[in-house]
Amino acid sequence: MIILGIDPGYATTGFGLIKADRGSYSLLQYGTVTTPPELPFPQRLNMLFEDMTRLLEVTKPEAVAVEELFWGHNITTGIGVSHGRGVILLAIERAGVPLFEYTPMQVKQAVVGYGKAEKRQVMDMTRRLLKMDKIPRPDDAADAIAIALCHARSATSLLAKKGSQG
């Protein structure tokens, strides 16, 4: 299964594309989608939508995993990220790709095995699972790869559970 992980934002959106096959994972591509800070906010959202639409067309994922927002201390930034996330969800919906959403705690649990793991633990386990020499940069892309891994590991678990019930 080809899974696109997305760490949403409006200034920088991380993405990570992985292939998951029977408990084996390989990294296909990763990076960021950015918008220029000098543009008016509505133009940045439009650029994000167009870039996400193109990314979905080019990568052709079978599933997209997006991180749910965690509201920290800066509510102004959180509102902007929420707008960006909405544009990203719209692009995914229009592309007709199945969408799955995960909280930061679910990502940590799926990748590390502990829902309150530290960021460095998630990044190191991501590196190990994908047999990489070093942790991918920037952080937004590394987070997106972890989100894709979360779906790969969760989907496999859910399929196993579903198969055993029936």
Residues taking part in catalysis: 7, 67, 140
Bridge partners of 63? 3
CB 65 within 8 A of CB 97: no
Count of beta carbons in the 10 Å neighbourhood of residue 100:
16
**DSSP line for 130-158:** TT-SS--SSHHHHHHHHHHHHHHHHHHHH
CB 64 within 8 A of CB 93: no
Collapsed DSSP state (helix, strand, coil) of residue 29: strand
**What's the CA gap between 147 and 3, in Å, rounded?**
9
CB 14 within 8 A of CB 140: yes
